[in-house]
Amino acid sequence: MVDGLISLRSQHSPKETADRLAAIVTGRGMTLLARIDHAAAAAKAGLDLRPTEVLFFGNPAAGTLLMQDVQTIGLDLPLKALVWQDESKSVWISYLDIGWLGKRYGLASNAGPTVEKMAALLKAVVEEAAE
């Protein structure tokens, strides 16, 4: 277990999980900024890697509020989720706990409502993609 990391098992293949996540993110009004397929990059380098893809997404109206408080939280924004397959072929979605990030960066207490909304939205999006 990694501190600040939340992982949820998906009922779908890696590609289907990542595609579902992308569709849900955009369906909820967020912007999908990038998809990085680490396994494809590894293959180009002649290396093997189980399916591993990270999706970057967010809403500047929320993230900017946090960066106005502590600008360096921008290192961990926009939101991101990693879709990956373990050695037993189980598929997972992992993401950083927004509440943990708030504590890590020492966000002011007035950022609490934004952090809570972002955490709830991220949890809902990941759960929907995994079901």
Single-letter code of the amino acid located at 29: G
The architecture in CATH of the region 5-130 reads 2-Layer Sandwich (3.30)
- The model carries a pTM of 0.93
- Is the preceding omega at residue 113 within 30 degrees of 0, hence cis? no
List, for residues 51-95, the tens digit of each pLDDT value.
Answer: 999 999 999 999 999 999 999 999 999 999 999 999 999 999 999
Please state, rounded to an integer, the average pLDDT across all residues of the chain: 96
Nearest residue to 55 (alpha-carbon basis) of 87, 98, 94, 3: 94
Confidence label for 2 from pLDDT (cuts 50, 70 and 90): confident
Q: Where do the structural domains in the chain lie, given as residue ranges? A: 5-130
